[in-house]
Structure 1
Amino acid sequence: MYREIMMRTELALLLGLACMGIAPVSFGQAKGQEPLPLADSGLRLTAEQIKQNEIKALDGSPEAANKLANHYQGWTNDVEKAMYWYQIAAENGSTEAMWNYYEVSTVATFPDWVRRGRFWLRKAADLGDKHAIDALRDESGQKSGASK
């Protein structure tokens, strides 16, 4: 069971990184382990930057929350923390975070993430996000095509 959860978490990480156009870190890299050279060093935040961005994000900055989410997903390989900050960024109005939350949730093993991911997909589409609109259109086309 643990192995399955880890494999799904790694897949979620790779999907999220692909959405952001970032080279993925290696499969099998442990949470908290120093990233391999493929990780985008532009995502790395210092302890002081993390602290500053946390304050800004909790005060309403979607940019700061996205920086934290990208750091945790793309640098430290901590999908749970990344999802927390994607949630904050989405609540702060970032359609990019709404989309990223949805993308990671599509392979999540946590039903709450999946359900919330669908919510953020619809919200991003309502706010005009092209990726979300296309995903919903494709989904509705597949459903109508499948029922014929």
Structure 2
Amino acid sequence: MFFVPLVVLSLSVSPLTMQADKERYDREMISSLEVRAKAGNRLAEEVLGEAYAHGRGRPQDDEKAVYWYQKAADKGMKESQYNLGDAYLHGRGVGVDYEKAAFWYRKAADQNFIQAQYNLGLLYVKGQGLPKSDEHAAFWWQKAADQGYADAQLNLGKAYYLGQGVVQDKGIARFWIQQAADKGNAKAKEALQILSH
């Protein structure tokens, strides 16, 4: 009889204890990362930027995230380059600056970072921070589509369907839209239904 209430009590306390242990572990891990980042370790700089961006082990702080992303990006870390581009695009921790967003996306895109390739295409098609160019947009979407990025496959398919930045080819358009739909992209599935009528 006495044993059952103790088990129930220990189970009810356990999640709280686990959460406290996780928070302590996160704080200790971030402290260790800070030491390595301050010593110039580019991976530690990148991870510390992520920690500040998402409030892991430290309070969420976009300005500190950008500070550490910048250090890692300057050392060629493609994820930090992408995150820095994203910060400039959306004004997180810095002011909105489309030219700087394009600059950092391009750095990451040149290292085959798929989301940067896709976003660079969006900036070209909108003329944000770069001269408007459907051809350049299609070029970058092609790179991301070739690596299996569904949103890029859909946009490339649309470009082929409309002949924007590429020679119009509805067969190629259908191929790319189908690729995106096969990955579960809802907009691609809708586009296929429209193409079927």
TM-score scaled by length of structure 1: 0.57
- Structure ranking higher on relative contact order (CA contacts 8 Å, 6+ apart): 1
Structure 1, unaligned runs of 5 or more: 1-40
- Counting aligned pairs with the same residue, the percent is 24
Q: For 1:44 and 1:112, how far apart are their aligned partners in 2?
A: 33
Structure 2, unaligned runs of 5 or more: 1-52, 55-59, 163-167, 171-197
User: Pick from 93, 105, 115: which aligns with 2:112?
Assistant: 93
Match of 2:81 in 1: 65
Q: How does 1:16-95 map to 2 (within 5 A)?
A: 45-46=62-63, 49-75=65-91, 76-95=95-114
Q: Partner letter of residue 91 of structure 1?
A: D
Q: Structure 1 residues 119 and 141, CA, compared in 2 at 3 Å: closer, same or farther?
A: closer
Q: Partner letter of residue 87 of structure 2?
A: H
Q: Partner letter of residue 120 of structure 1?
A: W
User: Pick from 155, 169, 184: which aligns with 1:135?
Assistant: 155
Structure 1 contact 61–92 (Cα < 8 Å) conserved: no
Q: For 1:99 and 1:144, how far apart are their aligned partners in 2?
A: 21
- Provide, for residues 36-60 of structure 1, a one-character-per-residue CA deviation record: whole Å limited to 9, x for no partner: xxxxx979632x5434322322333
Structure 1 contact 44–71 (Cα < 8 Å) conserved: no
Deviation at 1:101, TM superposition (A): 0.9
- SS of the residue aligned with 2:126? coil
Matched positions, count? 104
Who wins on radius of gyration, i.e. which is larger? 2
Structure ranking higher in helix proportion = 2
CA-atom RMSD in angstroms: 2.8
Q: For 1:89 and 1:61, how far apart are their aligned partners in 2?
A: 8
Deviation at 1:87, TM superposition (A): 0.7
Q: For 1:120 and 1:104, how far apart are their aligned partners in 2?
A: 10
Q: For 2:77 and 2:133, how far apart are their aligned partners in 1?
A: 22
TM-score scaled by length of structure 2: 0.45
